[in-house]
C-alpha cells in the first residue's frame, strides 16, 4: 500500500514537471515568434472604423522589400467570412511601390479616385498603420498614376505616419475630422521656436488640446525643426476651464534628451495650445504637482503665449 502511494506521488511530481516544462517551452516559442509579430489593419464591415488582426511576418520586419510584398498580398486578401474588408480591394489596383530613406511610396491606378471619402480615409489609415510597423518604413505616401494624392480641397496630402491618424482603433470613426494644427517646435539651434503646420485626421471624441499636445510629444516630421520635449511623455489628464488649459504629465515629461532650452520646451506647448480659439493660458503639472523644476526652470502657475521666443 505504501509503495502504491509512493508511486502515485512520483507520478504526480513527474506530471507537474512535464506541465511546467511544457509551459516554459511554449512561452519560449511565443517569445521567439514575437519579434516578427505585427498588427495588420482592415476596414470593419460597417465601414465606420478599422480593426487589427495579429499577424506573423514570414519575411521579418527588417527584410523591407520582402515584407512589403508579403503585406501587400495580405492587405489584398478578403476573409472567408465577411468579418472585415481588405483595404487594397478589387476597387483599386496597386500599380507599384518604391522605398527611399524610410519613405514607402505606393502608386495606385486611377480607380483610387472613385473611392468614397469615408472608405478612402479608412483604407489609407489601415494601409499606413500596417506598413509603418516595419523597421525601415517611417512614412508612407500615396500616388495616383504617379501624381501625389490630394485631399478634397486639392492640397497634396504628403507623407503620412501612424500618428497622422489619431483615434482609438476598433471604435467607430464615422465622426472623424481633418484639422490643420499650428504646432511650435525648436529651431535648429534649440533657442527659438518655429511654426509647423500639420494636417491630422482624428476622432472627434479626442479634445483638440489633447490632440495638439500629443502632436508636440510625437515631434516634428521635417528637417527644419527639432523636438522640444521627451517623446516618452504621457498625458495623465487634461481639461479646459474659463479659457485655461490644465494638463498633467507623468514623470517622463521631466526627461530631456533634446538640445533645447527649458523655455523653448515650455512655450512649444503653451504657444501651440493657445493657438486654439478657446484657450489663452496653460497650467502644467507633473503627477499632480503644480510646482516643479524642469531642467533649470521653475514652472508654476499659468502661462500665456510668448511671441518673443519666436524665431
Residue pLDDT tens, the chain, 311 long = 444 544 445 444 333 433 333 444 444 434 444 688 999 999 888 777 788 899 999 988 888 999 999 999 999 988 777 788 899 987 788 999 999 999 999 999 999 988 877 788 889 989 999 999 999 999 999 999 999 998 766 778 888 888 777 654 444 444 566 788 999 999 988 899 999 988 887 766 678 899 999 999 989 877 788 999 998 999 999 999 999 999 999 999 998 767 899 999 999 999 999 999 989 999 999 999 999 999 889 999 999 999 999 98
Residue 295 lies in a domain: yes
Give Dmax over CA atoms of the chain in angstroms: 92
Dihedral (CA of 283, 288, 291, 295) sign: negative
Q: Which residue range is the domain that position 83 belongs to?
A: 34-174
Residue 113 lies in a domain: yes
Same-domain check for residues 193 and 294 = yes
Same-domain check for residues 63 and 141 = yes
- Quick one: angle between helices 117-131 and 64-76, nearest 10? 150
- Quick one: angle between helices 262-273 and 208-218, nearest 10? 150
Of 123, 147, 174, the last residue of a domain is 174
Residue 263 lies in a domain: yes
Residue 127 lies in a domain: yes
Residue 16 lies in a domain: no
First to last CA, the chain: 91
Per-residue model confidence (pLDDT) at position 209: 92
Helix, strand and coil percent figures for the chain, each rounded to 5: 30, 30, 40
CA distance 67 to 73: 10
Is 52:8 a contact under the CB 8 Å cutoff? no
Of 127, 155, 174, the last residue of a domain is 174
Angle (CA) 127 163 35, round 5°: 65
The pTM for the full model equals 0.52
Of 132, 156, 174, the last residue of a domain is 174
Same-domain check for residues 154 and 196 = no
CA distance 308 to 311: 8
Residue 158 lies in a domain: yes
Amino acid at each position: 500500500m505504501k509503495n502504491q502511494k509512493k508511486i502515485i506521488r512520483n507520478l504526480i511530481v513527474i506530471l507537474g514537471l512535464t506541465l511546467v516544462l511544457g509551459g516554459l517551452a511554449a512561452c519560449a516559442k511565443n517569445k521567439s515568434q514575437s519579434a516578427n509579430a505585427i498588427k495588420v489593419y482592415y476596414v470593419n464591415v460597417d465601414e465606420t472604423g478599422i480593426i487589427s488582426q495579429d499577424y506573423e511576418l514570414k519575411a521579418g520586419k527588417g527584410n523591407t522589400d520582402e515584407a512589403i510584398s508579403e503585406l501587400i498580398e495580405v492587405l489584398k486578401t478578403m476573409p472567408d467570412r465577411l468579418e472585415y474588408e481588405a483595404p487594397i480591394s478589387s476597387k483599386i489596383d496597386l500599380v507599384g511601390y518604391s522605398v527611399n530613406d524610410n519613405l514607402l511610396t505606393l502608386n495606385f491606378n486611377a480607380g483610387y479616385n472613385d473611392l468614397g471619402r469615408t472608405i478612402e480615409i479608412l483604407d489609407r489609415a489601415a494601409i499606413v498603420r500596417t506598413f509603418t510597423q516595419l523597421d525601415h518604413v517611417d512614412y508612407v505616401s500615396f500616388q495616383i498614376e504617379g501624381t501625389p494624392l490630394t485631399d478634397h480641397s486639392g492640397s497634396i496630402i504628403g507623407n503620412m505616419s501612424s500618428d497622422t491618424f489619431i483615434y482609438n482603433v476598433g471604435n467607430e470613426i464615422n465622426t472623424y475630422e481633418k484639422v490643420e494644427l499650428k504646432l511650435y517646435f525648436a529651431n535648429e539651434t534649440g533657442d527659438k521656436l518655429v511654426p509647423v503646420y500639420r494636417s491630422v485626421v482624428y476622432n472627434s471624441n479626442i479634445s483638440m488640446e489633447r490632440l495638439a499636445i500629443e502632436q508636440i510629444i510625437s515631434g516634428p516630421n521635417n528637417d527644419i525643426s527639432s523636438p522640444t520635449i521627451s517623446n516618452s511623455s504621457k498625458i495623465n489628464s487634461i481639461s479646459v476651464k474659463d479659457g485655461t488649459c490644465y494638463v498633467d504629465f507623468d514623470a517622463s515629461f521631466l526627461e530631456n534628451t533634446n538640445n533645447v532650452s527649458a523655455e523653448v520646451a515650455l512655450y512649444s506647448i503653451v504657444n501651440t495650445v493657445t493657438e486654439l480659439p478657446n484657450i489663452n493660458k496653460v497650467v502644467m503639472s507633473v503627477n499632480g504637482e503644480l510646482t516643479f523644476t524642469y531642467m533649470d526652470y521653475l514652472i508654476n502657475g499659468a502661462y500665456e503665449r510668448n511671441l518673443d521666443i519666436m524665431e
